[in-house]
């Protein structure tokens, strides 16, 4: 039983929550006034979150877990250029000048809980399936077209990485490029971002 609930350390470290990017778009448009449940409801209206469990209390728990996990990952991604305040009842995206005095507390027990995927109460295969479904939905949202997939070599070229790049290298570069070209950023580019999404879809496996 323990083998089913324990997730590999590499999975824990590198499995990105695709909700980062729709959440970033939401917070760019409305930086404050969000709570976990209102953010989850808004993402549900946009089609990013669906029913996760037939039991209402488990469905609520899983929705909250996914949102909190994504928020903590996004906090790390945005820091130090922006500060994302992650509190269940007060989620705020702050500008760069508000970052002073804020640091990521890697020992925060709440953060530690929500970044560990085994606390989602599922085995690795189930979590991978869930996140792959979310990623498929997001690719459609940003304009994925059937038949325009790229191969690994082309994806690495787009990321300006060589064949020896590690999973950590790829993930780090993806987040940097995604932030640079995200359509809601100043000087962002929707088409460039879409192409990078396709490259990440190849390299993340």
Range of the domain at 30: 1-140
- List C-alpha distances in Å: 71 to 3, 13, 89, 153, 190: 28, 15, 13, 31, 22
Q: Which of 87, 109, 140 is the last residue of a domain?
A: 140
pTM of the model: 0.86
Indicate whether 55 and 121 sit together in one domain: yes
Indicate whether 169 and 106 sit together in one domain: no
H or E stretch including 5? helix 2-5
Question: What are 71's two structure tokens?
Answer: 């928020």
The pLDDT mean for the chain works out to 88
pLDDT category at 6 given cuts 50, 70, 90 is: low
Indicate whether 136 and 150 sit together in one domain: no
Distance CA 70, CA 17 (A): 6
Across 116-125, 143-152, 165-174, which has the greatest mean pLDDT?
165-174
Look at the alpha carbons of 78, 80, 83, 88 in this order and tell me if their dihedral is positive or negative: positive
How many CA atoms are closer than 13 Å to the CA of 132, on its beta-carbon side? 9
DSSP 106: T
Residue-wise pLDDT for 118-134, tens only, equals 899 888 888 989 999 99
């Amino acid at each position: 039983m323990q083998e089913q609930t324990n997730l590999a350390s590499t999975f824990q470290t590198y499995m990105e929550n695709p909700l980062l990017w729709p959440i970033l778009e939401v917070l760019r448009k409305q930086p404050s006034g969000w709570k976990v449940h209102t953010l989850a409801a808004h993402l549900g209206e946009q089609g990013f979150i669906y029913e996760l469990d037939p039991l209402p209390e488990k469905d609520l728990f899983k929705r909250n877990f996914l949102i909190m996990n994504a928020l903590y990952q996004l906090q790390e991604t945005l820091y130090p250029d922006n500060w994302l305040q992650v509190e269940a009842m007060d989620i705020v995206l702050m500008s760069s000048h508000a970052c002073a005095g804020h640091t990521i507390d890697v020992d925060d027990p709440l953060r530690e809980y929500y970044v560990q995927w085994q606390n989602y109460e599922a085995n690795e295969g189930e979590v991978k399936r869930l996140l792959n479904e979310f990623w498929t939905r997001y690719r459609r949202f940003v304009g994925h077209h059937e038949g325009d997939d790229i191969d690994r070599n082309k994806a690495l070229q787009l990321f300006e990485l060589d064949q020896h790049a590690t999973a950590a290298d790829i993930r780090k570069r993806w987040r940097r490029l995604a932030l640079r070209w995200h359509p809601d950023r100043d000087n962002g580019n929707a088409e460039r971002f879409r192409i990078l999404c396709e490259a990440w879809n190849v390299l993340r496996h």
